[in-house]
Structures are given as structure tokens and as C-alpha cells.
Amino acid sequence: MTQIALLEDEALLEQLQRAAFGYFLQTVSPLNGLVADNSRANAPVSIAVVGFALSAYTVAVERGWMQRADAVRRSLAALRFFRAADQSGSPTATGFKGFYYHFLDIQTGVRVWQSELSMVDTSLLIAGALTASRYFTADTRDENELRELVEFLYRRIDWCWAQDDADTIRQGWKPECGFLHYGWEGYSEAILLYALALASPTHPIARNSYKAWTSTYQWENLYGYDYLYAGPLFTHQFSHAWIDFRGIRDRFMREKRADYFENSRRAVYIQREYAMRNPHEFDGYDENGWGLTACDGPSDEMPDVSNESRRLFGYAARGVPYGPDDGTLSAPCVVASVPFAPELVLPAMRNLIARYPEMFSEGRFASGFNPTLADANGRAWVSAGHYGLDQGMVIMMIENHRSQLIWRLMRDCPYIRDGLHAAGFRGGWIQQSASDGAR
């Protein structure tokens, strides 16, 4: 731990990134390239985590942590699995209409936990696949196959079906009961989903669906900052893992004279402001102790006891300023904010490592920790093991901070570019891409 503290910022980030990458080596199934949701025993596959893995391999090759052929082999295993997987939509299939169930068995790849067909998680998977196809561009048999598979998987997705004749995209579906109604309103991590759905050459959604979604946005002045409100920090990060939002604006952001990157920067500042106010008087909240997001946390042990005061939410999307907030913070989401506000993130990250070494194992951050629920020795409650989403975000966002590798790859991805253009994004690299295309 002392050694870590002595590292310069760049070296520290490299070390965190590489340790995070170790998660994907440890939890991948060599049979089918699928990756576990978390490192606990018998964890299922999360399709979103596979998307992060596909992106992480490109970073690993670029950084020299993995041979290119190895990365291609692992990517091909996953992509071949998804191509061949049962798409019948039956309760024990892998997917339907080109989408996939959220959680799969790591050996067989079939649906587990009666999970939902997840539109947003499928989009994270496909974004990872598209990243791979933009990186592995050599004219070799394997890399050609990889690109063909990605093209096939993307084109197979019936985004239009997922609209279910509604104004916006549905977020989930189950064979047992049809489309689910989460009531998602307001800004979220869904820009990536909309961009991919708008750009589809086979089953695009209507252009006005993006407008319908953004009409639920709330532009708020909070703690002195103007920003597009969303409570949990991950909502300000996930689409940004793949899309470089610096200088590009949709109609909403043009009206507000901001962009989504700047918005995420402000979201980081607001998180810190909230933690400094610490309205619920939790331990560990201060200018360098923040990070409320979707993460694993402690949960009530006796949920059925009537009138018991319930304050612990388990795995939940915690957010500011309205909560839920049970004193659980997440270090990975702090690190994943590094491209937006390194001046806040780096000191916070160092503080968390120094103050809570118990949540830092194998060089990786636990999903969540809760200093208010400390044990007799003063050690914070810590979520067991590690989560793939967290580790994927750490790798990608540090890389975007250091080299913009993922952003550069995806700026050249026609589906991302076209989707954003269809959503009304203009300026910056989108305009540049259009000019280049015109030449």
C-alpha cells in the first residue's frame, strides 16, 4: 500500500488499469469468451461485462499487456458464441431479436436468474464489439472474421421492435410477461443505446424517439452548478466510456451552451459538494470522500420485519442529492471520472486508497464500501470480490484520460458517428468527420 501511495499519478493510473485488467483474465470462460459479472463463486455472465472485456482487450494490446493474437482469440470466442447462441427468445435461450438476456450461465451461455432481455446492456456489449472491430483491422483471417461477426451481430439487433410502438425504447423484455416498464425518465446512460439504435442499417428506430427521450431531461441549477440532472455517477460515465462527447452537442446541449463531457465534469463537482455537505452525517464523506453510484452495498438482514427502519439498500443505484444514500461509496466510479475532473479525482483516489486499504485488494477497488458500518477494528464494510462493470470502467476511462484510445477508435466508427448525427449532434469531431467524408 505504501508503494502505491508513492507512485506518480501516471504510474498509479497504469497500475490501477493493469490490475483491473487482471479481472478479465481471471473471470473469463476459455470455452466461450464470456466473462463473469463479478468474482464471487458461481457468478453468472453479465453481457455488459463482456462488452467491457472486448474493449479492454484493445487497451491491453496497445499497452503491451497481452499479445494481439491472444486478444483476437478471446474476442472471437465471445463473438462466435453470440452468433451461434439460441435467439429464439425462449426462457432458456440466450437472446431474442438480436438482444441478449442480461445474465447468462458462464458454461452454457443460456439465460439465468430469469433475467430480462436487456436493451441497454446489449448496447454495452455491442459497443465493446464495435471497439474491437475498429481496433483489429488487419487483413488476416481471424481479424476479418472478427469484423464480420461484429457486423452481423449489430445488424441482427431489431431496435425497432424494442420501441414497442412507444415514443422511446423499452428497457427490458421477458418471455414470461413481455416488455417491462421501468418508467425510465430523464437523463441516463442511454445515449449510447440511442446512437446505436438510430444508426442501424437494418432495424433503426424513428429519429423522433431521441427527441422524445430528451424531452424528459431536467436542466437544473444545484449547489451553484448548471447541469443535466442524473443522480448516480455511472449515468454520467457509461456512454462516455466509448463516446468522446467533448465539443459535440445535440439540440439540448446547444440550447444550454454546454456538452455532455462538461456536464459529467459538473456532475463530479456536484458529487463532491454533496459529500462535503453530508446531509445524513455518514462517516468518510468529505471533499476527498465521495462516489455515489450503482454499486454493491450492505443490505438489511431482516427485510420482512414490519416498521423496521430500513436504511441499507444492497446492490442499488445510489445518487445525489436525493439518494438513496446509505453511506456506501464506490471508488471505481471515482476513478472512472478521471477524464472529466482529474483535479478532483486524483486526490480523492489517493485519499480512498490511504484511508480504506481494506477495500483495495489485488490492486483493485471493491464495488462499494461503507465506512459508517465499520467493524470493531474500525475497518469499513467492504463488498466482497470485484465487479466486472467497475473494472471495465476503470480500464477504459483511465485509457481515455491517458491516450483517448477508445474515443479515437469510436470516433471512426460509422455507426456511432451516424447515430449521433441522427440524434442531432453537431460540431467538433462529428463535423470534422462529415467534412472528411465529403472530401
For other proteins, the binding residues (CB under 8 A) are 114, 174, 176-177, 180-183, 185-186, 215-222, 224, 226, 229, 231, 255-256, 277, 279, 305-311, 321-324
Give 144 or 277: the residue with its C-beta nearer to other proteins. 277
Least distance between other proteins and beta carbon 325 (Å)? 9
Least distance between other proteins and beta carbon 321 (Å)? 5
Give 73 or 254: the residue with its C-beta nearer to other proteins. 254
Instruction: Provide CB contacts within 8 A for 386, sequence distance 6+.
Output: 23, 38, 39, 361, 362, 364, 365, 366, 367
Least distance between other proteins and beta carbon 333 (Å)? 19
Closest CA to 390 of 2, 17, 14: 17
Give 278 or 404: the residue with its C-beta nearer to other proteins. 278
Least distance between other proteins and beta carbon 180 (Å)? 6
Least distance between other proteins and beta carbon 413 (Å)? 30
Backbone angles phi, psi at 170, to 5 degrees: -70, 155
Least distance between other proteins and beta carbon 266 (Å)? 13
C-alpha dihedral, 104 to 108 to 113 to 116, nearest 10°: 40
Instruction: Give helix then strand counts, H and E, for the chain.
Output: 18, 15
Least distance between other proteins and beta carbon 313 (Å)? 9
Give 88 or 218: the residue with its C-beta nearer to other proteins. 218
Instruction: Provide CB contacts within 8 A for 394, sequence distance 6+.
Output: 16, 17, 20, 332, 335, 336, 364, 365
Give 95 or 232: the residue with its C-beta nearer to other proteins. 232
Closest CA to 128 of 421, 411, 410: 410
- What amino acid occupies position 326? D
Residues 179 and 222: their CA atoms lie apart, in Å, by 35
The secondary element (H helix, E strand) that includes residue 70 is: helix 68-84
Least distance between other proteins and beta carbon 223 (Å)? 8
DSSP 8-state code for residue 16: H
Question: Which cell is 402 given?
Answer: 491517458
Question: Which cell is 139 given?
Answer: 487483413
Give 182 or 207: the residue with its C-beta nearer to other proteins. 182
Give the angle 68-157-412 at the CA atoms, nearest 5°: 45
Give 308 or 343: the residue with its C-beta nearer to other proteins. 308
Neighbours of 197 (CB within 10 A): 27
Give 307 or 377: the residue with its C-beta nearer to other proteins. 307
